Amino acid sequence: MLSFLLDSLHEDLNRVKEKPYCELNEKDSDENDSEASQRWWQNHLKRENSIIVDLFHGQFKSVITCPECQRISITYDPFMYLGLPIPSETCRIKFKYFPIVPEYEFIELELILTDTTNIRDMKYLIYEKYKVHNIEYLEAIRAKDMTFRQILKDGVLVKQVYDINEEVIIYELKNNAYSTSFNTFYITPADFITESSMIFFKTNVQNALFYVKPFTFEKGKTVSDLYFEVFKYYRKLLDDYDGGHNYITFKDNLLNQEYLEKEFDFYVNKKELIKLHFINNVPESDSIFSSKSTCEFCNDKCQMCKLPFKKSKVLLYKLYDGLKVERKLVLYAELTAKRKNQILLFNKVPETKNLMEKKKGSVSIYDCIEVFSKEEKLEKENAWYCTKCQKHQEAFKRLEIYRPPNILIVQFKRFKIKSTGVVMGFLTNKKNECLIDYPINDFDLTKYVVGKNKEPHIYDLYAISQHFGGLSSGHYTAFAKNQNKWIDFNDEVVSKVDTNTLVNNSAYILFYKRKGLN
């Protein structure tokens, strides 16, 4: 009703009497965001121009990505109100992002989790926050105790992955990592205790050196090249020797290829400090140490298969020839070094089990905006037509605020109508009566606005529409600010309001005015 009322007022007050035809072309590759959004806004004003537009209209940036050809369509659509979804509870997950540089560090991030949060949402957070070159070169793995479990596809729901000590780790790969001319190996350093069999000794450390690490190579590279790159990365853990063979000198010569090769030869000849082992991790088995399957590398029932350094001329891509199932190869690096134990001891931390934190009944309007800004997958009935694939696709869509209006109307999506039809003459429905915390003054939207205009976007609340009851029957009241005092309007009853009651679980629509707007 509110939307219809404002639209009707706008049409009556529209300054444009004859609306011209305006073609709404998506953002062109040579346009920046500012130019494209301005073009869309000007086309909007050529047809719709009234005091309602001046006050209530804002602009979304809509980004749609085709899951098949990766074509991206960007448009800038006008809006009159902001409909916000409500997370049933604020459930936040922690996950780690490993950029290519600096290679010994990782970044810990948090994300609000909903029933539909998927792996691509996590990648997009990194893409936006750290401006990585391409979202497609972020690879997510499921990890347990810092070790590789499996590659996670974009559509995997995050709730299906997290457990007490399982988590998602996202790596930035080289831009050519997915080319058919390259192979990526996942390598984890490990302590081995030799008894009747090899057992992987697990420990919790906050150091990137002790987490699984991807190494990407051209197909022409050999096993020797793999050992060389592993040596360079894990040199920090290896022992120092007299004669200038120390880590400080090594670090100062990282760009000196001749020096690095001499160091590599020295350590190889000194003793076998690094041993790489394949893991017999066939995908059908939940355990990475599967004793039921025949090893694809030695054709025996082993737990680990050593990758001998003496076979240095073996091409890396040949290692994939015997695989029964196409997958990424996972290796463990056994490091014979005292420095490793010192660093491991120094970085040892208590075991953490709070990768997922739930806080029931603690939802803020900012949580709702974060969920609104998440990328979602379009369902089949709302499929998007990709002009490159020439067919409808269940694409990924993200809506973000590009140009906020002067008066911001926020609607909480409290109602969910079930598709089961009519029961005893009434629609079956569910109302979310969650208490949402929202600011009365200084509602700061700045960080959620993606436009280039970085001026503060701060609002003050001046009215609240409240709903009591369900969808089939209910009652509306309103709080509104009048002469700097809050008044309760309940049919014919009008009374003053205690400001402590303004935030309650009946709030349905909020009316905010930009700070400083007369």
Angstrom CA distances, 330 to 124, 143, 182, stand at: 26, 12, 16
Angle between helices 223-234 and 257-270 (to 10 degrees): 90
**SS3 call for 505:** coil
The answer to whether position 400 is within a domain reads: yes
Is there a contact between 117 and 111 (Cβ–Cβ < 8 Å)? yes
β pairing state of 213-218 and 396-403: unpaired
Q: Do residues 279 and 154 both lie within one domain?
A: yes
**Residue whose C-alpha is closest to residue 138's, from 95, 75, 93:** 95
Residues 6+ apart with CB under 8 A from 480: 462, 463, 464, 486, 487, 489
Whether 367 and 449 share a structural domain: yes
HEC-encoded secondary structure of 227-282 = HHHHHHHHHHHCCCECCCECHHHHHHCCCCHHHHHHHHHHHHHHCCCEEEEEECCC
421/289 same-domain check: no
Among 347, 378, 402, the domain boundary falls at: 347
The per-residue pLDDT for 162 is 76
Question: 48 CB contacts (<8 Å, ≥6 apart)?
Answer: 10, 14, 16, 57, 78
Beta carbons within 8 Å of 272's beta carbon, 6+ residues apart: 309, 336
Note whether 156 and 293 are same-domain residues: yes
494 lies in some domain: yes
Same domain for 31 and 115, yes or no, is no
Strands 507-514 and 407-412: antiparallel
CB-CB contact of 92 with 112 (8 Å) = yes
Strands 304-307 and 274-279: antiparallel
Measured CA to CA, the distance from residue 442 to residue 307 in angstroms comes to 62
Strand-pairing partners, residue 507, are: 466
b/e code 253-291 from CB counts within 10 Å (16+ = b): eeeeeeebeebbeebbeeeebbbbbbbbbbeeeeebebe
Q: Is residue 290 part of a domain?
A: yes
Same structural domain, 311 and 202: yes
| Residue 47 pLDDT | 95
If one counts every other C-beta atom within 10 angstroms of the C-beta of residue 294, the result is: 14
Please state whether the predicted TM-score (pTM) of the whole model is above 0.75.
no
Residues 318 and 410 both lie in one domain: no
281 and 419 in a single domain? The answer is: no
Closest to 454 (Cα-Cα) out of 403, 515, 398, 513: 403
Residue at 33 is within a domain: yes
Give pLDDT tens digits for 205-238.
557 777 888 998 888 888 889 999 999 988 888 8
Give the pLDDT score at 428: 55
Residue 266 included in any domain: no
**Burial (CB count <10 Å: 0-12, 13-18, 19+), residue 197:** exposed
Q: What is the CATH number of the domain that holds 369?
A: 3.90.70.10
Pair (312, 378) in one structural domain: no
One domain, residues 337 and 482: no
Q: Which positions ≥6 away from 26 have C-beta within 8 Å?
A: 73, 74, 75
Evaluate whether residue 99 is within a structural domain. yes
CA–CA gap between residue 270 and residue 265 (Å, rounded): 8
Q: Name the residue range of residue 157's domain.
A: 90-238+273-347
pLDDT tens per residue across span 180-207: 778 888 888 765 333 323 334 444 455 7
Three-state secondary structure string covering 152-211: ECCCCEHHHCCCCCEEEEEEECCCCCCCCCEEEEEEEEEEEEECCCEEEECCCECCHHHC
Tell me the C-alpha distance between 399 and 396, whole Å.
Answer: 10
Measured in degrees and rounded to the nearest 5, phi and psi for residue 419 equal -90, 10
Among the candidates 295, 314, 347, a domain finishes at 347
pLDDT of amino acid 276:
86
Question: Cβ(28)–Cβ(36) under 8 Å?
Answer: yes
Domain presence at residue 352: no
**What pLDDT, on the 0 to 100 scale, is given for residue 340?**
64
Q: What is the CATH number of the domain that holds 307?
A: 3.10.20.90
Q: Are residues 369 and 309 in the same domain?
A: no
Domain boundary among 347, 376, 395: 347
Same domain, 213 and 311: yes
Residue 254 domain-assigned? no
E-strand ranges in 288-389 read 304-307, 329-335, 356-359, 363-364, 376-377, 384-386
> Residue 517's pLDDT is what?
84
Strands 363-364 and 138-144: unpaired
Domain count, the chain: 2
> For 9, phi and psi rounded to 5 degrees?
-60, -40
- Return d(Cα 177, Cα 156) in angstroms, integer: 21
Say if CB 135 and CB 127 are below 8 A apart.
Answer: yes
What does the alpha-carbon distance between residue 218 and residue 177 come to, in Å, rounded to a whole number?
Answer: 9
Q: Could you read off the pLDDT tens digit of each residue along the chain, which spans 518 residues?
A: 999 999 999 999 999 999 999 888 999 988 889 999 999 999 999 999 999 999 999 999 999 999 888 889 999 999 999 999 988 666 778 899 999 887 788 898 888 887 778 898 899 889 888 888 788 889 999 887 777 888 898 888 888 887 656 788 999 988 777 777 788 888 887 653 333 233 344 444 557 777 888 998 888 888 889 999 999 988 888 888 887 788 889 889 888 999 999 999 888 877 667 888 887 554 444 444 444 567 777 777 766 778 877 666 788 888 887 777 777 788 888 877 767 666 655 554 444 455 666 555 568 999 899 889 888 888 888 899 999 999 999 898 999 999 999 999 999 999 876 554 444 444 456 788 888 999 999 999 998 998 766 789 999 999 999 999 887 788 999 999 999 899 999 999 999 999 999 999 999 999 999 998 87
Contact between 121 and 374 under an 8 Å Cβ cutoff? The reply is: yes
